[in-house]
């Protein structure tokens, strides 16, 4: 097969491509109550990343999100043990505002670990606009950090209108709409097209055929980033869905790594 082979031909043949690395900007780690996750340790996740050519995963450990008694220290431990393969989002649970303030205050001591913040508003049942999350938003806005939001169509905690409010209030925070306002795909595409600091993210999107095609058509592939919820979802499944979607290989490269590198400051 020649160098002119398509990405699809090459991924099917080789599984992972040196000239098309994958950056997964929506990961987790560890076991969680709702399902058995066969590959949830750092070592298992790295092995899975290697099979698909995933260069870097940016994650927030399940325990950081769901066990406030543990909190963000688990993220720090993992990234410092595997600095070549992982970065983390600092979990923000506004139900514990003192902890939010403490995590934001300690953020600069962990610049080797954190690239930004993670809000999981539907689970915490606190809107992303709530004042108890403001310290994280203000930090992200002041320093151009990433903010990965769990977003869901119709949600009163993180639906499209609340995303718009945050994006306009914090124009220098770089917002990744985790799950791209799941189910309300046109709203997600419209937000990404209109607001420079808002991006669609593909976790739980790629099992709904047609959604990513819509994002690329309406917002452009420069406004879409790759994510899998790893260790929940399989990298090759998600890459394959991109290969089957209606877009160019140049679009796919934007989504798989170029946009992530730009957002992470690697370019």
Partner 1 sequence: MPLTFFDANVAVGLPRNAGLFTPVETPDQLAAYLRDTRLSGALIWHWAQKESHVASGNGLLQPYLEAADEVYPCWAVLPPVTAEPTGLSGDVLEALPAALRLFPQEHRYLLRRPVWGDFLDAVSQRRVPVLLSLEHGASWDQVYNLLADFPDLTCVLCDVGVWSMDRYTYPLLDTYPNVALETGMLSITDGGVEGVVRRFGAGRLVFGTGIPSRCAEAAMLQLTHADIDDDDRRAIAADNMLRLLEGGAR
CB of 81 to partner 1, least distance (A): 21
If one asks whether residue 48 binds partner 1 (CB under 8 A), the answer comes out as yes
SS3 28: coil
Residues 145-184, one symbol each (x = binds partner 1 by CB under 8 A, - = not), give ----------------------------------------
Say if CB 240 and CB 212 are below 8 A apart: no
If one asks whether residue 1 binds partner 1 (CB under 8 A), the answer comes out as no
CB of 125 to partner 1, least distance (A): 21
If one asks whether residue 197 binds partner 1 (CB under 8 A), the answer comes out as no
Q: Which helix (H) or strand (E) holds 60?
A: none
Nearest in space to 266 (alpha carbons), one of 21, 26, 79:
21
If one asks whether residue 238 binds partner 1 (CB under 8 A), the answer comes out as yes
CB of 102 to partner 1, least distance (A): 32
Out of 191, 245, 247, 256, which residue is the one contacting partner 1 (CB under 8 A)?
Answer: 245
Tell me the number of residues near partner 1 by CB under 8 A.
Answer: 40
Residue environment code for 135-173, b if the CB has 16+ CB neighbours within 10 A, otherwise e: bbbebbbeeebbbbbbbbbebebbbbebbbebbeebeeb
Q: Which helix (H) or strand (E) holds 79?
A: helix 73-81
**101 burial type by CB count under 10 A (0-12 exposed, 13-18 middle, 19+ buried):** middle
Report the residue number, 144 or 244, with the smaller CB distance to partner 1. 244
If one asks whether residue 41 binds partner 1 (CB under 8 A), the answer comes out as no
Helix 7-14 crosses helix 235-244 at what angle (to 10 degrees)?
150
If one asks whether residue 11 binds partner 1 (CB under 8 A), the answer comes out as yes
Q: Which helix (H) or strand (E) holds 59?
A: strand 54-59
CB of 241 to partner 1, least distance (A): 4
Nearest in space to 97 (alpha carbons), one of 61, 68, 64, 140:
68
Residues 100-139, one symbol each (x = binds partner 1 by CB under 8 A, - = not), give ----------------------------------------
**Interacting residues toward partner 1 by CB under 8 A:** 8, 11-12, 15, 34-39, 44, 48, 51-52, 185, 204, 206-211, 213-214, 228, 230-241, 243-245
């Amino acid at each position: 097969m020649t160098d002119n082979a398509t990405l699809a031909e090459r991924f099917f043949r080789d599984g992972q491509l040196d000239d098309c690395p994958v950056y997964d900007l929506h990961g987790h780690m560890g076991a969680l109550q709702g399902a058995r996750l066969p590959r949830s340790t750092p070592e298992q996740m790295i092995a899975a990343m290697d099979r698909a050519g995933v260069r870097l995963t940016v994650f927030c450990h399940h325990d950081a999100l769901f066990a406030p008694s543990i909190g963000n220290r688990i993220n720090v431990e993992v990234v410092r043990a595997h600095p070549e393969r992982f970065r983390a989002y600092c979990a923000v649970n506004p139900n514990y505002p003192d902890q939010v303030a403490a995590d934001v205050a300690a953020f600069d001591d962990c610049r080797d670990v954190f690239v930004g913040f993670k809000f999981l508003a539907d689970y915490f049942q606190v809107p992303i606009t709530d004042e108890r999350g403001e310290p994280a938003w203000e930090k992200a806005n002041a320093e151009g950090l990433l903010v990965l939001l769990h977003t869901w169509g119709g949600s009163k905690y993180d639906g499209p209108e609340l995303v718009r409010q945050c994006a306009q209030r914090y124009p220098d925070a770089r917002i990744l709409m985790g799950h791209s306002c799941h189910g309300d795909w046109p709203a997600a595409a419209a937000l990404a097209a209109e607001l420079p600091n808002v991006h669609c993210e593909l976790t739980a999107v790629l099992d709904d055929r047609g959604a990513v095609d819509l994002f690329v058509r309406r917002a452009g592939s420069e406004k879409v980033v790759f994510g899998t919820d790893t260790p929940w979802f399989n990298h090759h499944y998600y890459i394959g869905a991109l290969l089957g979607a209606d877009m160019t290989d140049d679009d796919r490269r934007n989504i798989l790594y170029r946009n992530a590198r730009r957002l992470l400051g690697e370019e």
